[in-house]
Each structure stands twice: as structure tokens, then as C-alpha cells.
Amino acid sequence: MMPFKCSVDFAAAGSNLLSPPALTVGISLTDLGGSFANIQFTAVPEAEREILAVALAAISTKSNVLATVDPPGSGTALSCYALIILTS
């Protein structure tokens, strides 16, 4: 996992089809350094609510974030581990 300065393109929450249903949070990020654009990540289960809250706050305030994510192209499912809103 690596930190990237990003903009948040969108964030959404839903449930899976398991029994009992579990929350799933997905976010789309664009790296401000240009290494990826509009890539979708899934929040890790232990931080889903916090990641969703920060992502929605960043969208509503037009703020950028520091995202700790699996680097795209790493050959794994892309997860987001943490988001922090960046101040100007």
C-alpha cells in the first residue's frame, strides 16, 4: 500500500448478497500526480464508515485527500485503507 494525493471522483455504499448482508464502500480516486485517473477502490471492512465519511466530506468541500491504497497495476484487488482530507 502507498499514499497518494488524490481527488475523490465519487463514493458509494451498498450491501452484498451474503447472509447477513454486509456494507460495501467503493470510492473512485484520481492521483494528483498523474499516475492514475478515476480508478475504483474498495474500502477495507474495518474502516468502511470512516472512509465513506471522509470521501463524502472531500466531495462536498471540493477538498483533496491523502489516500493510502494499493497501487493500481499491483496485481491485487484494489483496496483503500485510509483517507485524510488535505487542507490548502
Please, are residues 69 and 2 in contact by the beta-carbon 8 Å criterion?
yes
- Domains of the chain (ranges; CATH) run 2-85 (2.40.50)
pTM of the predicted structure, to 2 decimals: 0.89
- List the grid coordinates of 64: 483533496
Q: pLDDT by residue (tens digit) across 19-67?
A: 666 778 999 999 999 999 999 999 999 999 999 999 999 999 999 999 9
